[in-house]
Amino acid sequence: MKPIIHAIARAFFHAGGLGLLTLGVLDSSLLVLPVGNDLLVLALCARYPQRVLYYVAMATLGSVIGSFTTDWVGRKSEGKLKKYVPGKHMKYLRGWVEKRAALTLVVAALLPPPFPFTAIVAAAAAFRYPRVKLLSFVAAGRFLRFGIEAALAVHYGHWIVGQAKSPLLEHVMITIIVLSIIGSAYSIYRRVEGSKRLARRTA
């Protein structure tokens, strides 16, 4: 198990910006990858501080692309919400999207898990929040988040590089990857089961 995990971690690290882009897309769309991109931003910026802006931009772009996927799915789900959510709750949710979606999207993009980022993007999309605004606020929050992490990585770079091979960090990475696999499998299962239930009800 450990050799596989080490190989995956090394592959994303050596991929650099493309690794950040890939993790961002996956984490903001279908899979569950808690703080995976954050750790990769820290590691890459600590090792290559001259590429900070590039890494921050690629991590942000990955999150925006993944959010676009979630947005696309969410815009198809408004009809489903009407079937399962009471009218008064629908009115509240619609009011939230109209009045507070901008701030909530920025905060959701800025804060780490367990803040329900993907669920908030999907909800805003389901109520037809303008796509350009949605993705712009996501980009702003993510860019600020990754920018702060990059600044910390540059400032504490020597310490971060020194800790990269510590047993504690290794255990943390293994735990995160295991949780990612479990969470992603559950996420996929729920989506498949949801599609099956919807198909049975509409048959």
Tens of pLDDT, residue by residue over 49-91, are: 999 999 999 999 999 999 998 898 888 765 555 554 545 556 6
Residue 140 lies in a domain: yes
CA angle 174, 172, 64 (to 5 degrees): 85
Contact call for residues 145 and 110 (beta carbons, < 8 A): yes
Q: Could you tell me the residue range of the domain that residue 22 belongs to?
A: 2-196
Residue 88 lies in a domain: yes
pLDDT in tens, 153-178: 888 876 655 655 556 555 555 565 55
Residue 201 lies in a domain: no
Per-residue model confidence (pLDDT) at position 162: 60
Per-residue model confidence (pLDDT) at position 100: 83
Per-residue model confidence (pLDDT) at position 186: 56
pLDDT in tens, 17-57: 898 998 888 877 766 666 678 888 988 898 899 999 999 99
Measured distance CA(185)–CA(31) in Å, rounded: 8
Residue 126 lies in a domain: yes
Measured distance CA(37)–CA(24) in Å, rounded: 6
Share of the chain above pLDDT 90, in %: 22
Instruction: Report CA-CA distances (Å) from 72 to 29, 69, 101, 127, 198.
Output: 10, 5, 17, 12, 18
Mean pLDDT of the region 103-124: 84
Residue 203 lies in a domain: no
pTM for the full predicted model: 0.73
Q: How many domains does the chain have?
A: 1
Measured distance CA(146)–CA(65) in Å, rounded: 16
Confidence of residue 202 (pLDDT cuts 50, 70, 90): very low
